[in-house]
Structures are given as structure tokens and as C-alpha cells.
Amino acid sequence: MPEQPLVLVVDDEVTTLETLAYQIGRDFRVMTAENGIAALAVLDAHGPFAAVVSDQKMPGMDGLELLEKVREKHPDTVRVLHTAQTELSVAVSAINEGKVFSFLCKPCPTDDMRRTVREAVEQYHTVLAEREMLERTLQTSLHALFSWMEMVNPRAFARAERIRDLSQVLCRELDLPYTWHIEVAAMASQLGAVTLPPTVMERLNRGLPLPDDEQKMTNALPEVAARLLHGIPKLDEVVDIMSALRATDPRRPDLPEEVPAAPPTPAVSVLRAAIEYQALVGRGVTVEGALAILERSPDQDPAVLEALSRILGGALGSENVRAVRVNELEVGMRIAEDVISVNGVTLVGRGVRVSATLLERLIEVKRNAQVAEPILIDVSTEETADV
């Protein structure tokens, strides 16, 4: 049986507190606090709370101030003001500043109190359920978007995966939190590549010089990704990361000078290093060469480059590749070289980890004798295989 939701009641008058605990305690677990400071401590220590019912007039911190702090620190907790003060100004402030769910006058009839708290708890659950659904929808949509990228442009997808993995290792090395925003930004960094004609993509992959019009198309890739993601709920932070990457992109001589040069966040610095590094090695530059180029770049964060150097130092010389047939592939193996069809079309990009879906697809293609074998897989240690 699920645990009953938790409700906090706050009042400096002890008999009122006992009464509220009695009224609400029939339906919910109740904790009490005699002032605002104690209430915040209880919320921090014993949360999450579905609702908080607070008196208005208390010494030190009044109810409105408390509920405002609750809104800032525990935005999901639904707030109810319970007061003997009937001034309109208090009610207006409660609604406008405290964004309270309900306003109850003392002494509150038991039925009204129980109904209001029940509705507050329902509101809490509704908000949580809506958010969960939104997050699941977002997760599914992103998965669909990146699966589409994998189908349309396997090389771009593979590069995105390598950028993502390197960013993760860099965050770990730098003791930075690796959030899902960074992961999505890493994958999205290559999203714009799906708009490039295959010939341009091929030249780009090989590091060949591009004519002006093609260079312009390539320069516009971050905008394409940002446009695709812009407006999707909860991706604001990802779009911010993408925009920061774009704003000081050293390959963008066409950027106006007034582009804000705010100091990059650690996430941006990590992604910038990962993207540039993968772009360089993707064009055939050696690991040592790529590091040397990055170290000369004013746009790279020295601390991130040191971390990258430490990681790659461990990886240097440890590459270990094995040739396998399609029927020997296993989920989790990492592809070490592009898998191509017999007529030269890239089926899977280098660096991709074999998933169950991918394995099924390759087996299907193999049935039609369309896969060029053997396939090279990376069997170096997990730490080094990640980069």
C-alpha cells in the first residue's frame, strides 16, 4: 500500500497546531512546525510534502514570507494560508505573491479544512503526473528524433554518440554533474548535419576544403539544430547550451562582433572541446595532433583540455580492434569503423554501440547479402572505448 502523502502544518499557537494535526491527520500523514524557520527545516529534512498549511501571523517570518520561500525551494508543494486575518490586502498578497492554492479563515470548519487539504494534495499529484507525462513524451520524442538521425545520417549519429560519450567522461574527470541537458545537447550538436547533401558531408568528414556556399551551409548547422529544438518544452537549457556553443564558434567568422561573449558554462566548455576534438579526429588528425590544435585555440578552456589530455593519455596506444561477422556481433559492442553496404552506402557510423534494434537491422541487411564484412569492433577497455 503506498504511503499516505505528507502535509506540513505551521502555526505558532500550539493548540491550533494540535487541532490542525487532528483535523488533517485522519486522511494524511502530518508534521508540524511552530514557526517559519522550523517549517523550512522540516521541509528540507522530511520532504517531499504534498501540501503546507500555514498561519499568517507568526513571529519572525510571517506566513506569506514562508509560503514564498516554499514556492522557491519546494515549488511542487501546494500552499494553503490559514489565517484569522481577514484583510483583503492579506488575501490579495497571498494570491499574487505567495501564489497560494487556497486561503482559509480561522477557525476553519473541519469539513472545509479536510476538503481543502484533499484538493491541495490532488493538485500536487496532478502536477507531478503532468510533469511525468511531459518528461516521458519528451524522452520518447528525443529518442525518435535521434533514431531518425541514425537512419538518415549514420555518420553524424555516430559522431554525436562519440561527442556524448566523451562529454560524459570529461564531466566525470572534471567532477562536473553530467546532466541530461548535456547529453541531449551533445546528440543535438550533430542534428543539423542531416540537412547536408551527402557530397558535402563526405567532404566535411574527410576534412576537405569546402566551396563558399557549402561552407555557409555547414556554418548554419547549429542554427538548424537550435531551430529544431526551439520551443520544445523543457529544452530551454539545451537550446541555451547550443546557442552558447554557436555564439563563440571559432569556425564562424561571419558572426557579428556584438555577439555576447558571456563566459561559457562548464557544460559549454566540455561540449566545445568534445565537438572540436571529434571533428578533428574525424578528419584524420591524430590524437596528439588534435590535442595540439585544441591547445592553440583561444576558445578552449585550459582546464577541460587538461582533463581531455589526461583521458586521451590513458587511451593512447590502447586501441584494440577485432574483426567480426554480423552473426558474431553482440549488443554493447562498439563499431570501430563505418559499416558500409556492398554498394558503398554507410549503414552504421564509427563509434556507435550495437543496440538490439541495430543488430536486428544489420541481420536483416545481411540476409540480402548487402553488408560489407568483416565489421571492425573496438575491444579496448571500457574507459578508453568511451572516447
Q: Which among 218, 228, 213 is positioned nearest to 279, based on CA atoms?
A: 218
Q: Cβ of residue 174: shortest distance to other proteins, in angstroms?
A: 52
Of the candidates 71, 106, 230, 366, which one interacts with other proteins according to CB under 8 A? 106
**Which residues on neighbouring strands pair with residue 51, listed in sequence order?**
7, 78
Cell of 186: 551533445
Binding of residue 116 to other proteins (CB under 8 A): no
Q: Which stretch binds other proteins (CB under 8 A): 51-59, 312-320, 351-359, 363-371?
A: 51-59
Give the Å distances, CA to CA, from 366 to 202, 330, 347, 370.
24, 15, 11, 5
Q: Is 286 helix (H, G, I), strand (E, B) or coil?
A: coil
Spatial neighbors of 276 by CB under 8 A, at least 6 apart, are: 294, 297, 300
Per the CB < 8 A criterion, the answer to whether 274 and 160 are in contact is no
Which position has the grid cell 494570491? 95
Rank residues 17 and 51 by Cβ distance to other proteins and give the closer one.
17
Question: Among the candidate windows 64-72, 107-115, 164-172, 211-219, which touches other proteins by CB under 8 A?
Answer: 107-115
Reduced to 3 states, what is the DSSP secondary structure of residue 311?
helix
Return the beta strands (E) in the chain as ranges: 6-10, 29-33, 51-55, 78-83, 102-105, 321-324, 334-335, 339-340, 346-348, 375-378
For the CB of residue 16, give the shortest distance to other proteins in the complex, in Å.
5
Q: Return the C-alpha cell found at 230.
A: 526551439
Please report how close the Cβ of residue 15 comes to other proteins at its closest, in angstroms: 5
User: Cell 585550459, residue?
Assistant: 302
Residues 6+ apart with CB under 8 A from 162: 278, 350, 351, 387
Q: Which of 9, 10, 11, 33 binds other proteins (CB under 8 A)?
A: 11
Specify the residue, 11 or 165, whose C-beta has the smaller distance to other proteins.
11
- Rounded to a whole number of angstroms, the minimum distance from the CB of residue 62 to other proteins is 12
Residue 107 binding other proteins, by CB under 8 A: yes
| Site for other proteins contains 110 (CB under 8 A) | yes
- Judged by CB under 8 A, the residue of 13, 237, 299, 337 near other proteins is 13
Q: Does 22 bind other proteins (CB under 8 A)?
A: yes
List, in sequence order, the alpha helices (H) in 297-355.
302-315
Residue 14 within binding range of other proteins, rule CB under 8 A: yes
| Candidate list 1, 15, 88, 257; residue touching other proteins; CB under 8 A | 15
62 interacts with other proteins by CB under 8 A = no
Q: Least distance in Å: CB of 58 to other proteins? A: 9
CB of 24 to other proteins, least distance (A): 12
Asked if 57 interacts with other proteins (CB under 8 A), we say yes
Phi-psi region of 15 (alpha: psi -120 to 50; beta: other; left: phi over 0): alpha
Binding mask 73-102 for other proteins (x = CB under 8 A): -----------x------------------
Tell whether residue 344 is a contact of other proteins (CB under 8 A). no
Q: Is residue 26 close enough to count as binding other proteins by CB under 8 A?
A: yes
Q: Which residues here bind other proteins, judged by CB under 8 A?
A: 11-16, 18-19, 22-23, 26, 55, 57, 59, 84, 106-107, 109-111
